[in-house]
Structure 1
């Protein structure tokens, strides 16, 4: 039996453990934290339960495919609720002016088209064409790019891909921002269609137009919420991994990947790790999969001659944004906010320039995301109170500091929290919001470094600019060390929970020697392809 060690029990680590255990590996997962989840963690306090990471459930077909690989389904594992409205957009008021009503994105493509048409005559028809294009791009991505290990050029030399080369080239060489601007005039509609770039750790100006496929996910397919939040998703992944036979060890800090052999024969032979009592252990393995931050894996867990992606490689890469997370327990109801809300500044170029420009600084005001899961899930807040998760994109810079409880974080982080509470209150028309806050917790870029060894304190990983997408992104196997593989948001195919699930499958394909471009066919209970 192949002995496999997986480093990290976040989304990618647990998913990889489950797939390899089902494949017949003897899998042990080593997680530095005291619980599973990684960036998809949770914080409980005074009757509130906050997700501290992902909160937007997109690409449900990726989850369904992953669950099928393990002989189950989304229906069996999760209770999904489709949100209506999908989300609302609050726009920065004019100077000295009153806040305008939010733009509400309803459930259902016909209703979304009507909402676009109400803001800009002709936009409904143009949106239909836009979403058709997005759907075609999404299908192509799933068939030939997202699940592709890029180990054989022939995987791309398919008639459908070759026929589509002119349109693919256009989508790759044009920015999402310009692609949207050619089709829509209304500034807010442009922002709605451009904002998915932030989910990709990029900006509308830097993300290729290919990523307009993201709009087919929320505008056409709708937005779901898993009851219990993403913490429940993590619980299910952990249960699936252990159910397949994987063992999970928490409080286990991996200090070094052991590499044996010489020259081209160098291979991963295990890890050295320290338990919560400080005792060191050397554990042998036939295969090592690191689902930790790739920069940390390459520059801290491996010696210089074993690094595929050394420090000089990272100096030429573009990080996604950092984040200040503000978790609020609020007394009383907040009918002004739906489950998901986006708050957009009017000067978007200035906002993104503050985060990604040559002189990065915290934008003020900032374009922010607000999740109110208590709108849908009674279990995340005491009766009659609300749970707010606020994500503020900031530069990826640990020097911005740590978060803390009730204003106890670093000065910059707490100033950001103060400002966004005031911003939500003003733009959404909740004047007494600040005085109704009964629980306040913040998380800053320095916390991402401390807790997750995050490169530059980023919240997501390398940005999805063209040079860091698809076959140009760091891949899932070491080129220097045999039997060493990589999974997670800092590797292919990219950031986000669905991409982390796919990265686990890419590791499986690498180990199997499967060079196919598309999703793996699920196995039946007898181990044959189903």
Structure 2
């Protein structure tokens, strides 16, 4: 039985802790804050409740596997999963709209033909069919296996070239070029907006990012009753069942090294914690660079250029209409300019906004009220000064105006609002600038990959959204299986079969 110290109590870190504990190890989690979940937090006020991080779960199989492998009760006995149908309502800048069903290729084709003209649905399905080829080519090495030493092979573009387009003869296409050439016009935004929502700029992201909307349409969008925070609670409780120990208010200063390998932690209060293995489940930039060494030729750490999120919580009087869509995306009239704003800090472009309206009594004081969450991708603290009242006021108004398109009579129903900026995200999670890591994407020479789970320091491993295979609930959750496999089975571990 090994002593294992885990830094941080985010979703990837807890998934790792639970898997290692069930393998018979003594696991202790050291969390700087007062609670678990990392970015998957909760804001409550006057009977209203809001998720501070992701509001929906995609690829729930990751957490189903976690619960199967770590205990007797499956995921569905610990939380109530509900398929969101329709999956998403799109409101475009010109006033047109399209509401896509959940997990229905034929249904999506019919909706798009009605919204954008005959043939639009076929073009959409053709693009996602090519995205499926990219998914099949990269699923295991990009999601289900530890990052290979020959990771540069994932730098090749897996998205099949459209015959006659000429794009791959010149260079691999970007996601934005695929959207424009293969979909065109208003339909292009339906492919670009979910990629931007993951924190990736469509004009600078390879076509392989089409796997993200493909995953959503194929595996569906799911809501957890009580909010995604309830999923974090279920993972935390599974850790406790497996005898994982949590130390809250225990900030880590650095990783201790003895005889050339990780030997424990130095806490902020000066206490030393011995360990046989250390798992870093936080943004590695929070630790001294020498604490998290990477081997020569490794994937560089993600960080510079990673955007954040700004979120507005709205407490409304009046009941939620029964036919309201759970998720509405209100499109920016200039998505390319918006993407530049999110990465460069030019904050004049109207943002693409996601509006979540869950039909969940746990989010509101009673049936005569409604809780609405509005969010957008934005530049992190440090690129913009989120202590500037003028800046925060401008963003709050932009989010409120966009939400008004999705929620009729919004301003008349508004009781109060609460804005959460990247500076708030940084304080809550410790992530530098409040940056929110995107999932790894193949292509672009490997520029959009994350560092491997094994580091150059023996005994030190990386979990969570800042390590392979990247951010998002599903990807961060997968780090638990990868890190536990590397520790339990050794460097020869190649992922579950």
Tell me which of 363, 381, 397 is aligned to 2:381.
397
Shift, 1:270, TM fit: 0.9
Residue 360 of structure 2: aligned partner: 377
Q: Relative to structure 1, is the Cα distance of residues 257 and 429 closer, same or farther in structure 2, using a 3 angstrom cutoff?
A: closer
CA contact (8 A) 1:398 1:457 kept: no
Q: Relative to structure 1, is the Cα distance of residues 219 and 62 closer, same or farther in structure 2, using a 3 angstrom cutoff?
A: same
Residue 270 of structure 1: aligned partner: 264
Shift, 1:417, TM fit: 1.0
1-side partners of 2:474 and 2:431: how far apart?
19
Shift, 1:367, TM fit: 1.0
Residue 428 of structure 1: aligned partner: 406
Q: Relative to structure 1, is the Cα distance of residues 79 and 203 closer, same or farther in structure 2, using a 3 angstrom cutoff?
A: same
Q: Relative to structure 1, is the Cα distance of residues 165 and 123 closer, same or farther in structure 2, using a 3 angstrom cutoff?
A: closer
CA contact (8 A) 1:400 1:444 kept: no
CA contact (8 A) 1:13 1:291 kept: yes
Residue 315 of structure 2: aligned partner: 329
CA contact (8 A) 2:279 2:460 kept: yes
2-side partners of 1:388 and 1:30: how far apart?
33
Q: Relative to structure 1, is the Cα distance of residues 515 and 121 closer, same or farther in structure 2, using a 3 angstrom cutoff?
A: farther
Residue 188 of structure 2: aligned partner: 190
1:347-366 correspondence runs (5 A):
347-357=334-344, 360-366=345-351
1:91-490 correspondence runs (5 A):
91-93=92-94, 100=95, 102-107=97-102, 108-118=104-114, 119-151=116-148, 153=150, 173-187=172-186, 189-261=187-259, 266-274=260-268, 279-299=269-289, 302=290, 307-308=293-294, 318-335=304-321, 337-357=324-344, 360-373=345-358, 376-383=359-366, 384-398=368-382, 400-401=384-385, 410-425=389-404, 427-428=405-406, 430=408, 432-460=409-437, 464=441, 466=443, 469=446, 472-479=449-456, 481-490=457-466
Shift, 1:468, TM fit: 8.1
1-side partners of 2:281 and 2:445: how far apart?
18
CA contact (8 A) 2:353 2:402 kept: no
Gaps of 5+ in 1: 94-99, 404-408, 522-530
2-side partners of 1:272 and 1:213: how far apart?
40
Residue 36 of structure 1: aligned partner: 36
Shift, 1:76, TM fit: 2.8
CA contact (8 A) 1:320 1:463 kept: no
Give the root-mean-square deviation of aligned CA atoms: 3.2
Shift, 1:298, TM fit: 4.5
TM-score (norm 1): 0.83
Q: What secondary structure does 2:365 align onto?
A: coil
Aligned length: 483
Cα offsets for 1:51-85 (capped at 9, x unmatched) = 00011211122222333332453323321111221
CA contact (8 A) 2:330 2:406 kept: no
2-side partners of 1:293 and 1:317: how far apart?
9
Shift, 1:292, TM fit: 0.9
Q: What secondary structure does 1:438 align onto?
A: strand
Q: Relative to structure 1, is the Cα distance of residues 129 and 493 closer, same or farther in structure 2, using a 3 angstrom cutoff?
A: same
1:18-37 correspondence runs (5 A):
18-37=18-37
CA contact (8 A) 1:11 1:501 kept: yes
Q: What secondary structure does 1:459 align onto?
A: coil
Q: Relative to structure 1, is the Cα distance of residues 338 and 429 closer, same or farther in structure 2, using a 3 angstrom cutoff?
A: closer
Shift, 1:19, TM fit: 0.9
Q: What secondary structure does 1:183 align onto?
A: helix
Moved more, 212-221 or 226-235: 212-221
